[in-house]
Amino acid sequence: AMAATAAEALSRVADVEIDGDGVFKYVLVRVRAAGGPGKDVVRGHGWAEYHADIYEQTAQELAQQGLSCECLGGGRLSHCPQERKIHVYGYSVGFGRADHSVTVEKLRAKYLDYEVTWADEGY
């Protein structure tokens, strides 16, 4: 029964949670149910001064649901809802550069009518 519960908890974790507009830091996080499979999720927020701020809040929320996680890297998002565009770029000093191509796939799956682009340059 534990495994099923863990899988359910994992399935309830949103793939993408980012601010509605602006330029802000993001982290790519691998979430795991105990002993089970994992999935990668995107978290990006303007309130965060550091990438670690987002990761720590995410880790706390996940721990309450019995899930563990690790940070795969970070970067920045530029979200322009008026133009329906999201651009992914940059890196995290503490966590390194996330695989922006993974982030883009996640964003495209949620923002179906958006143009989602990425670049490795920039901070």
Q: Report the residue count for the chain.
A: 123
Q: Tokens standing for 37?
A: 């499979």
User: 58-85, pLDDT tens digit by residue?
Assistant: 999 999 999 999 999 999 999 999 999 9
Q: Tokens standing for 34?
A: 């105990």
**Span 90-103, average pLDDT:** 97
Q: Which residues are catalytic?
A: 51
Residue list for the binding site: 25
List the domain boundaries for the chain. 14-119
**Three-state DSSP class for 6?**
helix
Domain 14-119 CATH superfamily: Janus/Ocnus (3.50.20.20)
Phi, psi of 98 (to 5 degrees): -70, 160
User: 8-23, pLDDT tens digit by residue?
Assistant: 889 999 999 999 999 9
Residue list for the binding site for substrate: 25
Rg (CA), the chain: 14
